[in-house]
């Protein structure tokens, strides 16, 4: 009886190990594995051998798990049968037959529940959560069974490949260890999370992370909003336009007809050297793009048409903002400031849990630089957008808005937007 219990427990442990390693191998970040393989030492060599043929490794884990389950089933069935016979001893033939049927059903249910809980569900959840660490911890014992069941796994793979080729007309199961852009992004995000608040992130890492996210960024996330556009009416005089160029320091200014929702082009400051009589005579065409368009597609369009600026339109055809090639490039390389860039965005840490920000500051920028973990969403990009999305209106000055662990106090506000906000972070203390 005691030896049976030991064998059952060992079978469950082996089954948990095999099923856990299977899910760990599938769930582990391939970047972690590749980096570990590049290290010197015995573990790196073992990981290299294990991942050389992924299909064979998975087949080995399945074979080992099945052997463990068969042994478990044999001994667990005998033990439960003996237990039921001692529990309800009887010499009556009918009751004895009924007891036998009941015990068979009961041992099946009990055995299945034990297996699901101890050798399937719990180990798979554990190995999936800590896959990157556990696949290294158990690499050596996994390689032992990899060698032990080598012939069996080779035979199983050959049979399965034959069936796939003959009956399903495929090339067989030739799974290769590779990593996706998502896994690469996850790995970089994990490394970024380990950076202490006072430490600086290497520019190369930041650029790499920006490049991975670049393909998903839309125009509305990068554009200069409508409220900050500098534009003049087509009827304006070249003299006044020259004065505006001087005051702003811009090289291009948009031209509209009647309202900013009817932009018809732009004027480059270089054109003013021609001493035009009207703005219309030096007007240049501008590109129009929807605000849901990906910035990588916009960059392709602007490059092919040799343009440097596009007007972003909302779903109703009105002007939502403007987007320049510089804005797109900044998504990759960070802010590119020149002598004419405005630096009126305010950011300051007043105390350990108190901050003051311009409402135009982007939420992801604040989270990245101040580790605040403000809620991020598709509906907004800025701190002001977060507050308006929460309240459904523009709050009044000096009012407070509480959200999760944050309290936002509106310091400055206009009729159309929030300008300055203080953020207080609530702690558990």
Q: What percent of the chain has pLDDT over 90?
A: 23
Question: Going by C-beta distance under 8 Å and a sequence separation of 6 or more, which residues neighbour residue 148?
Answer: none
In a domain, 35, yes or no: yes
Does residue 16 belong to any structural domain of this protein?
yes
The helix-helix angle for 42-52 and 139-148 (nearest 10°) equals 50
Q: Which residue has the higher pLDDT, 11 or 77?
A: 11
Provide the b/e sequence for 342-369 (b: ≥16 CB within 10 Å).
eeeebeeeeeebebebbbbbbbebbeee
- In the predicted structure, residue 415 carries a pLDDT above the cut 60: yes
- What integer pLDDT is reported at residue 264 of this predicted model? 93
Residue 291 lies in a domain: yes
The pLDDT score that the predictor gives to residue 197 is 47
Average pLDDT, the chain: 82
How far is residue 141 from each of residues 69, 124, 170, measured CA to CA in Å? 18, 17, 33
Q: 88-116 pLDDT, tens per residue?
A: 555 555 555 555 556 667 777 888 888 88
Classify residue 173: in a domain, yes or no: no
Mean pLDDT of 24-44: 80
- Is residue 176 within 8 A of residue 54, CB to CB? The reply is yes
Q: How large is the angle between the packed helices 2-27 and 122-129, nearest 10 degrees? A: 40
How does pLDDT run across 336-371, given as a tens digit for each residue? 655 555 556 788 888 888 999 998 888 888 888 888
pLDDT reported for residue 32: 72
> For the chain, what is the domain count?
4
- 388: in domain: yes
- Of the candidates 127, 159, 149, 134, the one whose C-alpha atom is nearest the C-alpha of residue 57 is 149
Averaged pLDDT for residues 144-172:
83
% pLDDT > 70, the chain: 82
Q: Can you give the C-alpha Rg of the chain in angstroms?
A: 33
Does one domain contain both 66 and 137?
Answer: yes
Structure tokens at 41: 């030492």
**93 and 235 housed in the same domain:** no
> E-strand spans in 107-198?
none
Does residue 338 form part of some domain? no
Residue finishing a domain among 135, 167, 199? 167
406 in a domain, yes or no?
yes
Run of H or E residues at 259: strand 259-268
17 and 132 housed in the same domain: yes
- Is residue 98 located within the same domain as residue 16? yes
259 in the same domain as 403: no
Against a cut of 0.75, is the pTM above it? Answer: no
User: Bigger pLDDT: 84 or 156?
Assistant: 156
Does 266 share its domain with 318?
yes
Least confident of 161-170, 296-305, 347-356, 415-424: 161-170
Q: Do 88 and 142 fall within a single domain?
A: yes
418: CATH? 3.30.465.10
190-221 confidence digits (pLDDT tens): 655 555 544 555 566 666 667 667 778 889 88
Q: What is the C-alpha to C-alpha distance for residues 239 and 42, in angstroms, rounded to an integer?
A: 77
* Cα distance from N-terminal residue to C-terminal residue, the chain: 54
Q: List all residues 6 or more positions away from 375 whose beta carbon is below 8 Å from its beta carbon.
A: 363, 386, 403, 404
What pLDDT does residue 36 have?
79
Tell me the pLDDT band of 53, cut-offs 50, 70 and 90. Answer: confident
The residues, any chain, with a CB within 8 Å of residue 321's CB and separated by 6 or more, are: 219, 220, 223, 224, 225, 226, 229, 291, 311, 312
Six-digit token string for 207: 């650029």
pLDDT of residue 173: 53
User: In which band, very low, low, confident or very high, does the pLDDT at 35 lie, cut at 50, 70 and 90?
Assistant: confident
Same domain for 209 and 229, yes or no, is no
Q: 315 and 374 in one domain?
A: no
Domain holding 276, by residue range, is: 219-333
> Do 139 and 208 have their domain in common?
no
Residues 271 and 372 in one domain: no
Establish if 124 belongs to a structural domain.
Answer: yes
Residue 185 has pLDDT above 70, yes or no: no
CA 315 to each of CA 219, 289, 291, 293, 295: distance values in angstroms, whole numbers, following the listed order: 13, 11, 8, 12, 17
Same domain, 210 and 224: no
């Amino acid at each position: 009886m005691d030896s049976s219990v030991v064998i059952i427990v060992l079978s469950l442990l082996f089954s948990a190990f095999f099923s856990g390693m299977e899910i760990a191998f599938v769930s582990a970040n391939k970047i972690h594995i590749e980096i570990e393989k590049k290290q010197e030492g015995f573990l790196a060599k073992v990981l290299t051998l294990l991942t050389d043929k992924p299909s064979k490794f998975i087949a080995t884990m399945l074979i080992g798990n099945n052997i463990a389950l068969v042994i478990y089933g044999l001994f667990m069935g005998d033990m439960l049968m003996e237990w039921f016979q001692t529990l309800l001893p009887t010499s009556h033939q009918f009751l004895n037959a009924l007891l036998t049927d009941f015990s068979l059903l009961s041992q099946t249910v009990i055995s299945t529940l034990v297996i699901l809980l101890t050798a399937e569900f719990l180990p798979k959840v554990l190995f999936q959560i800590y896959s990157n660490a556990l696949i290294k911890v158990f690499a050596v014992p996994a390689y032992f069974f990899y060698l032990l069941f080598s012939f069996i796994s080779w035979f199983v793979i050959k049979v399965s490949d034959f069936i796939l080729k003959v009956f399903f007309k495929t090339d067989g199961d030739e799974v290769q260890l590779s990593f996706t852009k998502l896994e690469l992004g996850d790995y970089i995000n994990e490394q970024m999370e380990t950076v202490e608040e006072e430490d600086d992130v290497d520019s190369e890492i930041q650029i790499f992370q920006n490049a991975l996210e670049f393909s998903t960024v839309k125009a509305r996330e990068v554009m200069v909003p409508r409220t900050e556009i500098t534009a003049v009416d087509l009827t304006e005089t070249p003299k006044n336009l020259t004065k505006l160029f001087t005051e702003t320091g811009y090289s291009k200014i948009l031209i509209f007809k009647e309202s900013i929702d009817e932009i018809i082009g732009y004027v480059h400051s270089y054109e003013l050297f021609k001493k035009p009589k009207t703005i219309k005579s030096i007007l240049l065409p501008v590109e129009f793009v929807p605000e849901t368009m990906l910035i990588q597609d916009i960059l392709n369009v602007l490059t092919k048409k040799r343009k440097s600026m596009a007007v972003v339109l909302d779903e109703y055809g009105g002007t939502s903002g403007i987007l320049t090639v510089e804005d797109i490039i900044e998504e990759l390389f960070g802010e590119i400031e020149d002598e004419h860039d405005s630096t009126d965005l305010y950011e300051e840490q007043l105390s350990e849990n108190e901050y003051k920000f311009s409402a135009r500051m982007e939420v992801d920028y604040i989270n990245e630089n101040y580790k605040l973990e403000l809620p991020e969403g598709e509906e907004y990009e800025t701190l002001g957008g977060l507050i308006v999305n929460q309240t459904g209106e523009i709050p009044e000055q000096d009012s407070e808005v509480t959200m999760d662990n944050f309290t936002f106090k509106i310091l400055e506000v206009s009729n159309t937007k929030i300008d300055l906000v203080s953020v207080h972070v609530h702690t558990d203390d």
